[in-house]
């Protein structure tokens, strides 16, 4: 049985089978006891801090699953990488540390050779476009690097910006090289920063 890798809330369909069907209204006490004994408990590792919108959505998603499953599925959400750090979240799912995991492909550089291409500077105009491209690529090519998990959903953000301190304005590519800027970057993005003459720095 494949493990489950979770990357956003579109996985409702995965657990739909846990929801009791409408034609089983008449249940005996024994049936109820049996259902309670078969409660599915899952750990969900999320790298975002608890106050981040994605962490809040993860909590809301877990509660929605529990409600739709009539309490037979209970998901405990571990935020801020408290169960598995971002770089080992995927491996944590494989090892059974968690049943569900949200992380970024870029945090495990070299593990996803095809999907690293998503981090190339394609010039995505917005997060919606980037998300559609990512999901369509995965659906069309079914990358082998995801064969050992049940991939559920991928979401992406919009174009990044260079946020600098006063006096460190970046207006041209030469500004990055001449000022030897340290730029927070992850995964394949580190190679991009280096190619532009900057110094990539990995930060949470």
Greatest Cα-to-Cα distance within the chain, rounded to the nearest angstrom: 76
- The reported pLDDT for the residue numbered 27 is 42
The chain-wide mean pLDDT, for the chain, equals: 81
Span 72-109, pLDDT tens digits: 999 999 999 999 998 899 999 999 999 999 988 888 88
Q: pLDDT: is 165 or 143 the higher one?
A: 143
Residue 39 lies in a domain: yes
We report the CATH number of the domain holding residue 14 as: 3.40.190.170
Residue 144 lies in a domain: yes
Residue 138 lies in a domain: yes
The total number of structural domains in the chain stands at 2
pTM score, two decimals? 0.76
- pLDDT band of residue 9 (cuts 50, 70, 90) is very low
Phi-psi region of 98 (alpha: psi -120 to 50; beta: other; left: phi over 0): beta
- The reported pLDDT for the residue numbered 167 is 77
Non-local (6+) Cβ contacts of 180 within 8 A are 197, 198, 199
Are the C-beta atoms of 162 and 174 separated by less than 8 Å? no
**In a shared domain, residues 167 and 66:** no
In sign, the C-alpha dihedral spanning 111, 192, 123, 203 is: positive
Instruction: Say whether 120 sits in a helix, a strand or coil.
Output: coil
Expressed as residue numbers, the domain containing 190 is: 161-204
Residue 156 lies in a domain: no
Q: Give mean pLDDT, residues 15-40.
A: 47
**In a shared domain, residues 36 and 93:** yes
- pLDDT band of residue 33 (cuts 50, 70, 90) is low
Are the C-beta atoms of 152 and 14 separated by less than 8 Å? yes
**In a shared domain, residues 12 and 101:** yes
Q: Give mean pLDDT, residues 118-135.
A: 89
Residues paired with 184 in a beta bridge: 201
């Amino acid at each position: 049985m494949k493990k489950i890798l979770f990357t956003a809330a579109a996985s409702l369909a995965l657990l739909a089978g846990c929801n009791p069907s409408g034609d089983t209204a008449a249940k005996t006490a024994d049936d109820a006891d049996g259902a309670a004994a078969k409660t599915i408990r899952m750990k969900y590792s999320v790298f975002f801090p608890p106050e981040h919108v994605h962490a809040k959505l993860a909590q809301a998603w877990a509660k929605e699953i529990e409600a739709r499953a009539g309490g037979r599925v209970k998901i405990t959400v571990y935020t801020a990488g408290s169960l598995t750090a971002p770089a080992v979240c995927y491996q944590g799912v494989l090892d059974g540390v968690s049943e569900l995991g949200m992380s970024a492909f870029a945090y495990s550089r070299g593990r996803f050779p095809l999907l690293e291409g998503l981090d190339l500077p394609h010039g995505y105009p917005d997060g919606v476009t980037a998300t559609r491209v990512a999901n369509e690529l995965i659906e069309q090519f079914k990358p082998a690097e995801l064969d050992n998990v049940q991939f559920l959903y991928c979401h992406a953000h919009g174009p990044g910006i260079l946020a600098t301190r006063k006096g460190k304005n970046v207006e041209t590519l030469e500004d990055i090289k001449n000022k030897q800027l340290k730029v927070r970057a992850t995964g394949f993005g580190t190679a991009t920063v280096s190619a532009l003459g900057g110094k990539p720095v990995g930060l949470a």
